[in-house]
Structure 1
């Protein structure tokens, strides 16, 4: 149970860090092309986080 909580905390921390980096990039260059690629990277990051939780959640549900 401790490991599950740790994994969730770690994923949350990483997500916040990635979001912060993205915002910094967007602030640094307001180029429209770059904003487009930031949006794409954000979507990519979201998909990988979602996939990560899909891997750990079934186990959570099996062992409450």
Structure 2
């Protein structure tokens, strides 16, 4: 999975996220993303939705 490769690369660099926002559709996450993007000390990725937890595969 592409997201897991990115995670491993960031982990190796010591650059893991401090927090992750999880939300259901239509729950205000786009507004929250916008509000957080206005803060100078918060970096947000260009790709907003990772869909890391939306896989239908059984682990």
TM-score by length of 1: 0.29
TM-score by length of 2: 0.31
Question: Which one has more relative contact order, counting CA pairs under 8 Å at least 6 apart?
Answer: 1
Counting helix residues as a fraction of each chain, which structure ranks higher?
1
